[in-house]
Structure 1
Amino acid sequence: MDMTQAMEFAEEWVESWNSHDLDKILAHYEEDFEMSSPMIKKYEDVPSGKLKGKKDIASYWAGALKRSPNLHFTLLNVLVGANSVTLIYEGVRGLSAEVFHFSNSGKVESAYAHYNL
C-alpha cells in the first residue's frame, strides 16, 4: 500500500458513503469482512461491537443510512500502514477515524471505527 493507492481508496470510500449507495459502499469489502465499532454496540446490541459478513453489516449500515439521511463525510487526512490505511474524517459523529486492513485481493478484510464519543 502506497500513498497513491491509499488516496484512491479514501476518495472512493468517502464518495460511496456520501452517495448513500449501499452496494457501492460494500464493493470495497471482502464477503466475510469484519467491522468493529462502538455504534454496533449501541444500535445492534452486540456487546463485542463486532459484526462479520456483508449480510449482517449491510443490514447495520442500511439502518445507519436511514437514521442519518444527511450523512456526509469530509476527508481530513489519510495515513498509510503496512497493508492498512487510516482515514480521518469529519462525519455525522464529528471527528472520526477508521482503520482498514486489506486482504491480498486489495479489498478490506477488517475495519475499525473510532469516534470522539
Structure 2
Amino acid sequence: MNFLSRKDLENHATTWIEAWNRHDVDAVITPFSKSVVFVSPRAAIVTGDATVRGRDALYDYWTKALAAVPDLEFGLESITCDENAQTVLVHYVSHAGGKTLRACELMRFENGLQVYGEAFYGADVAEPSQ
C-alpha cells in the first residue's frame, strides 16, 4: 500500500495548481486512478452530469471545459491535509472568463492515486479596484 505523507499531499495540491495554471491537463490527470469519481456542478454544464466517472471521461471533460475558458488561472489560498484519511482540501481563487470566485476541491487518495474528487464553488468575488 502506498500511503501518502502530509508532505506528499501538500505537494500534490501545489503541483495540481501549477499544472492547471499551465493549462496542462495531462499533468493534472496523471495522479488519478483509472476508476476515479469526480463531482462538480460545472461538470453538469459540459457533460450533462455532475458526476464524471473514470480517468478518460475526466480528461475529456477537463479538456472541453478548459477550451471554454482559456484565461483560467488559480490562486492558492490554503491546503488542509488529513494524512489518516488520505485527503487534501485545496482552497483557491479561480479567475476565468472575467469572473473570480472562491473554490475548494476535496481530493481522496488510495494507494497513492486520487480516487475521488469533489469541487465546491462560492459566489463571485469582487476584484479589488486598482
Same fold (TM over 0.5): yes
d(CA) in 1 for partners of 2:51, 2:101 = 21
1:112 corresponds to which of 96, 101, 118 = 118
More strand by share: 2
Residue 15 of structure 1 pairs with residue 40 of structure 2: no
Distance 1:2 1:86 in 2: 14
Superposition pairs for residues 17-36 of structure 1, below 5 Å? 17-36=20-39
- Residue by residue over 1:69-113, the C-alpha shift from the partner in whole angstroms, topping out at 9 and shown as x without a partner, is 011111100011221000000013510000000011x11000000
Task: Map residues 42-57 of structure 1 onto 2, 5 A cutoff.
Answer: 42-46=45-49, 49-57=50-58
Map of 2:75 onto structure 1: 74
Q: Name 1:94's counterpart in structure 2.
A: 101
Q: List structure 1 runs of 4+ shifted beyond 6 angstroms.
A: none
| TM-score, L = length of structure 1 | 0.90
Larger C-alpha radius of gyration, 1 or 2?
A: 2
Of residues 33, 38, 41, the one that matches 1:38 is 41
Preserved CA contact (<8 Å) 2:10 2:88: no
1:38-67 Cα offsets, whole Å, 9 max, x none, are 011222111xx1011111111110011101
Verify the 8 A CA contact 1:2 1:80 in the aligned structure 2: no
Q: One-letter code of the match for 2:70?
A: P
Query: Is the partner of 1:73 in helix, strand or coil?
Result: strand
Q: Is the 8 A contact 1:13 1:28 kept in 2?
A: no
Partner Cα separation in structure 2 for residue 10 and residue 56 of structure 1: 21
Three-state SS of the structure 2 residue aligned to 1:70 is coil
Q: Tell me, which stretches of 5 or more residues in structure 1 are unaligned?
A: none
